[in-house]
Structure 1
Amino acid sequence: MHYPEERPALSRVWELSARLLGLLSLWFGLMRLFPFEIAALERTFARYAWLPPAETAPALSLALAVLESGIGLALLLAPRGAWRKGAALAAMLFWGAGLALLFGAAAWIHDPPYGGFPVIGSGQTLLKHLGIAGLALGLYARERGCPHGRRRALYLLWAGQLLVLVWIGLMKFTLVEAQGVAGLMRPSPLFAWLYGPFGEQGASNVIGVIELATAASIALWPWRPALARWGLWLAIGTYVLTNTFLFTTPGWEPGYGFPYVGGTGQFLLKDLLLLAGAAVLLLSEPPSRAPAAAVRRPRA
């Protein structure tokens, strides 16, 4: 297969993104073999009438472990070619399918004074799937040698960044999110100091303002990539900082420790894919704004 030429630095970014997606897919897949992830799948099945019965969770968790781990191994170890292309396509479908859970009531907060959509609860982790599926689509298009498909994937990555930053940023101004994020921020020396001058809601508001300002800058990427770079760098910093919660919360599954990650740990680690696979790629491949050259026909 013929692959279009890439700058060496850009090629390294795409290769790093493929390896990182493979590593996390393998890691998350292996976690499905443990009781805490099987129990989480049972709870998910119980909350959605259109999903399989909860008693099927052990068998389906094993099947998902094999699928997700297989995708991860192929992305990690396979050279460029058919195996990696197939794994990238499977990863795109796998992560994209998770977005369907946003159409169930369990993704939203219904406790008073909230009445469901758009006040998002456990569905926050699902918002990240759009950007991750976009990353996998970009890898698939790259393996096919399709620059136009890769360009479309970059726009999906861009939309995925905005979806996460805008929605979760707006949530920071709600009481329920302020209380929830306090469990991550208070144990962290990087964030705990905010609670002195600002209080619980104020500290959450500060983070919300930063996230929305970051999103506002990234929103300019298709038209003003030079200005969007500031927001992309802020997004990278945000994702790096959120992953420090793995060590200060800690984000490992209670009773297991490192390297066992359940819901909270996986929620945080997905930011690494938004960092390397989205923010860094958007920095590395700004959209081409050069107009197409006009075709002049010679006069008779």
Structure 2
Amino acid sequence: MTDKELLQLIEQAAREGATEFDLSGKDLTALPAEIGKLTQLKKLILGKYQYNQKGYIVGTIGNNLSVLPAEIGLLNHLQELQVVANNLTSLPEEIVQLTNLETLYLSRNQLSSLPQEIVQLTNLQSLDLSRNQLSSLPQEIGKLTNLQSLDLSRNQLSSLPHDFGKLTNLQTLDLYDNQLSSLPNEIVQLVNLQTLDLYNNQLSSLPHDFGKLTNLETLNLSSNRLSSLPEEIVQLTNLETLDLSSNQLSSLPHDIVQLVNLETLDLYNNQLSSLPEEIGQLQKLRHLDLRSNPVPIPPEIWGLKELCQNPGDVSEILDLYFRVEDLS
């Protein structure tokens, strides 16, 4: 799109008092100052995700913006700003004037830091910073107390601020593909978390009070360095999916039976030589992956009705053998 065409679109949107404006996929390298005229905008899209019919992300439609003009701060009615799949290396300080923002998507850019002032966007409910180059977060990120969804995946984070624990309304937290070697103890204050993804970090332990996250339904700890689990993990009685694959676990807590709502338990590629007999009491289990462990199939598994609905059915049992890959 030429500069002239872009200015014409902006002028038309200003005349019409547009509340939504989608400029994704226009090959933009710059956004003119005239964007500040669209003071009625509630939703501005400069790059977005593509979804399939099931709601899964299948691609992006972006631009080539490396900066946003200071005039972006004039759009003080904005509730949603999407700048997915661009080349942003920084954010203008004026972005903090967008105090009505509830949704901010900045995925797939080249951000290495965030302005400290971003914590003033206290109405944010959904913040997507995935696939950037962030190595740290503002120390006062805990001021974003209305956040319900935070995606920090595929960055370069090695630690989280202690204020992280103040994000008590978070329901979904994505931290996969970072460089976290530990979690702040304050993370256990995120008592409304339902989904926590820590795949592919460098965690060797979990906070002692991890069991306080009692609303967790999905927990992904795959591809870390865990050699043991805190006993308190069995307090996560709402867990439906627990992924512990590709760690260094040699045993599981005997009280794992308390995770009565587990439907999926992935233990692939650990060092388990035995399983607690109590595993046979997890009656909701539908999927159990024990491959690449030096563990025999425990007889208690045959009592898991959801996993093996017809214990006498030879095909069911053989299928389980293949999935479990008995190495005894």
Per the normalisation by structure 2, the TM-score is 0.22
Q: Which has the higher strand share?
A: 2
Q: Which has the higher helix share?
A: 1
Per the normalisation by structure 1, the TM-score is 0.23
Q: Whose Rg is larger?
A: 2
Q: Which has the higher contact order (CA 8 A, sep 6+)?
A: 1
